[in-house]
Structure 1
Amino acid sequence: MTQDEAARDETAHARGTDGAPPARPHDERPRPQYGEYAPEGWTWPPPGEQRPDASGASSHGAPPPPAAPAPAAPAPPLAGATAGQPRTVDRFITILLLALGAVGAWNTSVSLQQLPGAIQTVYSQQGVGTYTPQEWLPTLALVGTVFMLALYAAVLGWSIVRMRAGRAAFWVPLLGGAVAMLATIVLTSIVFFTDPTFQSYLDGMAGA
């Protein structure tokens, strides 16, 4: 028997007596709903682990997910939040002082316009005599009135600017009130000490 005849006999034996190809072994596992079963010998490597490929070399799997970023540190509280209460108190005091200053500036302006009558009332109560207004008294009263109103306007504007900037402003009306009081004393002293009747009264008191 030649080699070709022996090969044909082996092929026929492998195919069977009827010449049909041999049947594949029956898979007793239930048919999967999606896809197919993995071939025998295949294993699933977790991501990041090495697995050998067909050539025997190791290959890396999918890279591990990046680490979650560290939580950001809480922001420090704003300076305005911690200073909210002092600013509220300062604003309340400033507004109250400005209201009182407005009343004071108005009363002082009216008093300067009625200065001759006020001086005569004091003279009558103290027994000084009769007051004779000087020729320049109306001009002095007008200058004093304009000064008081301008002073209050400056105090009001400066206070608003400081409050908007978040700075302490309560001392501005106090300073304006002190300046207004000093100006009133100076104007009144000029009127009294330039009046001849009042000078005669002082001379009489000094001689007595």
Structure 2
Amino acid sequence: MSDDRPQYGEYATPEEQRRAAGLPATPPPAAPAAPAPAPQPVPLQTDEAPKARPVDRLLTIAMLAYGLVNVLSSIPQFLNMGDSLTQAMKVLGIPGEFTNLGPARTWGVVAVVVMLAGFAATVYVAFRRIRAAKPAWWVPLAGFALTMVVVSLCLMVPIMGDPAFLNASLG
């Protein structure tokens, strides 16, 4: 072994590394580099709390409270959907009674579960946005709209299976 190579545990200088790699030696520095600019002070970053939105919070909570009353008052009607649809037929002037009771019970329970899940998801998203100080007023409206579309589809299944409703819509 030659003595110009570093031994185990020793570090080669940059010039030795360049020579061993077959690269030309580094040219000597021509002139001293300009002094680096003085570091600018970094503004102190504080963990400021996000802006509170009291009107948004109040409006969102008021709509959620109204939604809770609506959900809770709707549950008995969905669980007794046969009678509710018979009354709806009378109001609409459709002769006869609602007779598709089995599917009405099943889809009424499904509609209740969908309403409760939709309301719970709406509350969850709304409070997450309130805590993050993001606008949340629209969440109850969007949650209501989305939930009611799915609940309406649940109601359409037993309605479209009832002969009296079908005869009234076709005739």
Normalised by the length of structure 1, the TM-score is: 0.54
Which of 108-117 and 167-176 deviates more? 108-117
- 2:86 matched to 1:120? yes
Cross-structure match for 1:180? 147
Q: With a CA cutoff of 8 Å and minimum separation of 6, indicate the structure with the bigger relative contact order.
A: 2
Distance 2:152 2:87 in 1: 18
- 2:97 matched to 1:130? yes
The 1:128/1:188 distance shift into structure 2, 3 A limit, reads farther
Cα RMSD of the aligned pairs, angstroms, is: 2.4
1:26-47: per-residue Cα shift (whole Å, max 9, x none)? xxxxxxxxxxxxxxxxxxxxxx
Distance 2:105 2:153 in 1: 16
1:73-102: per-residue Cα shift (whole Å, max 9, x none)? xx9xx9768x44xx1111011101110111
3-state SS of 1:129 partner: coil
1:5-54: per-residue Cα shift (whole Å, max 9, x none)? xxxxxxxxxxxxxxxxxxxxxxxxxxxxxxxxxxxxxxxxxxxxxxxxxx
User: In the alignment, is the contact (CA less than 8 A) between 1:98 and 1:156 conserved in 2?
Assistant: yes
Cross-structure match for 1:158? 125
The structural deviation recorded for 1:176 is 0.8
3-state SS of 1:166 partner: coil
Aligned-residue sequence identity (percent) comes to: 28
Distance 1:195 1:179 in 2: 26
Cross-structure match for 1:167? 134
Distance 1:163 1:197 in 2: 48
The structural deviation recorded for 1:147 is 1.1
| Pairs aligned (count) | 127
The 1:127/1:147 distance shift into structure 2, 3 A limit, reads closer
1:149-198: per-residue Cα shift (whole Å, max 9, x none)? 11111111111111111111111111111112212322222222111121
3-state SS of 1:135 partner: helix
- 2:93 matched to 1:93? no
**Which protein has the larger Cα radius of gyration, Structure 1 or Structure 2?**
1
Q: For structure 1, which runs of at least 5 residues remain unmatched after alignment?
A: 1-74
Q: For structure 2, which runs of at least 5 residues remain unmatched after alignment?
A: 1-43
